[in-house]
Amino acid sequence: MTATKVLVLNGPNLGRLGSREPDVYGSTSYTGLVAACEKAGAELGFAVDVRETNDEAEMIRWIHEAADERTPIVINPGAFTHYSYALRDAIAQRTAPLIEVHISNPYAREEFRHTSVVAAVASGTIAGFGITSYTLALRALADQLSA
């Protein structure tokens, strides 16, 4: 049986995990995040492709690719969450489940982080559980895909 391809997309500054504000984002490095996603994905029968970009256009291209291929997505849009209507419009074209994730709880942070322009077009949102937010999202995808 072939593993289901899943994209795990990460937006701006997430490649700096481990050194970026460890009091907010924890001490796990980006490499550690990739390993955790790949391990959880393998346990669930997923071929996980983890990507990170600081470029909004590249993120949108990846979402278009996923829509064309009917590929499920776990996405941490980073700061794009709060203002990128272009990203929101790309996500609205999705053809498979898409789960928005955040390492920290945006509602426990600065007020500008309380609004997600992508949440309304996502299947759901998981936030505030550190790196575990990603593994919870992968489990939720597995549930959605098997339903």
**Domain extents for the chain?**
4-146
Contact 28, 36 (CB under 8 A): yes
For residue 78, what are its two tokens?
A: 């980073």
Q: Is 102 tagged catalytic?
A: yes
113 annotated ligand binder:
yes
Predicted TM-score (pTM) of the model is 0.89
Question: What is the Cα–Cα distance from 118 to 83, expressed in whole angstroms?
Answer: 9
Q: Which residues contact 50 (CB under 8 A, 6 or more apart)?
A: 8, 10, 33, 34, 37, 38
126 annotated ligand binder:
no
Fold entry, domain 4-146: Rossmann fold (3.40.50)
For residue 100, what are its two tokens?
A: 């928005």
76 annotated ligand binder:
yes
% residues pLDDT > 90 (the chain): 69
Residue 91's pLDDT band, with cuts at 50, 70 and 90, is: very high
Q: Is the pLDDT of residue 130 over 80?
A: yes
Give the tens place of pLDDT for each residue, 9-59: 999 877 666 666 656 555 667 899 999 999 999 999 999 999 999 999 999
Q: Is 114 tagged catalytic?
A: no
Question: What is the Cα–Cα distance from 99 to 124, expressed in whole angstroms?
Answer: 5
